[in-house]
Structure 1
């Protein structure tokens, strides 16, 4: 499997400016990059879109929409969809949000996620953007995402057309789930796999578990088994490496890109 399927998510090189990331991806001959809204808006969405086109670097995903527990979620997510459309990316990743302030009703919060996505589907369809529900590890349920398993994400996607609502399979968040292989097969049968992200799980986790991701091969996850599973389910799209770790962020972007690519080729491809 060539490097053409490999995509570097900008979270992995958080301190690498958007223009340098795109230029580095073009120079490395990789298949694309995933962008994050904050840094992309700071650089300029239309400016980033133009540069990506000029360099021939596809934008594989935009992160993130979601956080449906927040006031103003509807307008903010419409803006995210519009930004994805401008960038020409086919996928907007949804980190669906945690419990509303003062609430303990996780079931109600999860129902709200499904309803909120339904309200966004018409705008997403018109923009040609697919919404990808990303389940997060249960330790993030209270503040970041009440959707904790791939099965829950698929249940929430089910009422809506598969071309409009899919799921994000992120190894870091779902590797622990004993039902994950069955649910990946289900996601394929329902044509719901919108994107696949690879990151490793390190032990022990650092303080602040959000920064506990590692480059492929540096942790304990059977990453190639996941790639083979999504492939067997019919997914043929990019494989994004998305890592949050202070030590990785401290290294030069070009070095991290090379290390991520090496890890992908050795442990994922």
Structure 2
């Protein structure tokens, strides 16, 4: 199979399957995370999901704020879509009391927004080390405390806090929770209905014993996100996510592990990649649909 470093061109489809048509049963759990088509507005992303036959969308708070929450809710509902997740809450590592209060209040608002959109979970990005801080243990402890403080509001809204462990390359600036083991250690003492974890292939594919950790997660899996680990990494590591099939991740194995937990929710394709963002958005959606039905969907 011939692949490119970004996306398949419409004129030459190297995937083993043709682009699935709207209504294809294999698309029933596929969700487009907005970041995959970063240049598009919320309206454009919603319209593309509807026209390509994707039943769900993972939305980000900033594009929602641009149009207003009520308008965003109407857009999604009028298109007949469901919201698979709202991204993002979190950033909970500051030792400053005033900042922690601000983050708590903002995360409460994010839970309210997720509830209005009908999202089952709010993706929680833990946050990196505060400037000048080297105490990872303490920072992780503050994340645990902040998540616990949000549990009553999560239960009230019916929206799950989905802790996203992040590859350790991001521990300093974005996510001090680096493994599913660490995320589950935060989640497990708290109500299952209020706190779960995100299994993101980009972040966990490398984790030793990932199979056991996914099995341990069981009914704590709140979201399953897929994209690829590509090499060489670009200068900006944040933009190192690739299209499924262009890198090193065993989607068969990881997807089978997630499926074995009983997870039956949507599967989000979330890609941060400058080449993907520069490509035609409709070509990107076609490509991710092909790669999904070839590499991911058969193992759900």
Distance 2:253 2:55 in 1: 21
Alpha-carbon distance in structure 1 between the residues aligned to 2:41 and 2:62: 12
> What residue ranges of structure 2 are gaps of 5+ in the alignment?
1-24
Q: Matches of residues 51-62 of structure 1 in structure 2 within 5 Å?
A: 51-62=75-86
How far apart are residue 69 of structure 1 and its match?
2.5
User: Alignment partner for residue 168 of structure 2, among 128, 138, 143?
Assistant: 138
Q: Which has the larger radius of gyration?
A: 2
Moved more, 239-248 or 100-109: 100-109
Alignment match of 2:204 (pick from 174, 184, 193): 174
Distance in 2 (alpha carbons) for counterparts of 1:222 and 1:87: 32
Q: Distance in 2 between matches of 1:193 and 1:27?
A: 29
How far is 1:186 from its partner? 0.5
Q: Following TM superposition, by how much is the alpha carbon of 1:254 offset from its aligned partner in structure 2, in angstroms?
A: 1.6
**RMSD, aligned CA:** 1.0
> Which of 53, 68, 92 is residue 44 of structure 1 equivalent to?
68
Partner Cα distance (2:51, 2:82) in 1: 13
Find the aligned partners of 1:265 and 1:214 in 2 and give their Cα distance: 16
Q: After the TM superposition, which residues 114-129 of structure 1 pair with which residues of structure 2 at under 5 Å, given as runs? A: 114-129=144-159
- C-alpha distance in structure 1 between counterparts of 2:71 and 2:280, whole Å: 23
Counterparts of residues 1-269 of structure 1 (less than 5 Å): 2-70=26-94, 71=99, 72-188=102-218, 191-269=219-297
Cα drift, residue 28 of structure 1: 1.6
Contact 1:31 1:238 in 2 (8 A): no
Number of equivalences: 267
SS across alignment from 1:59: strand
Distance in 1 (CA, whole Å) between partners of 2:64 and 2:46 is: 11
Q: CA deviation at 1:81?
A: 0.9
Q: CA deviation at 1:78?
A: 1.0
Moved over 3 A (4+): none
- CA distance in 1: counterparts of 2:81 and 2:281, whole angstroms: 16
Task: Show structure 1 runs of 5+ residues with no match.
Answer: none
Once the two structures are TM-superposed, the CA of residue 252 in structure 1 deviates from its matched residue by 2.1
How far is 1:262 from its partner?
A: 0.9
Q: CA separation in 2, counterparts of 1:120 and 1:100?
A: 21
Shift of 1:101: 2.2
TM-score using structure 1 length: 0.97
Native 8 Å contact 1:214 1:243 kept in 2: yes
TM superposition shift of 1:200: 0.4
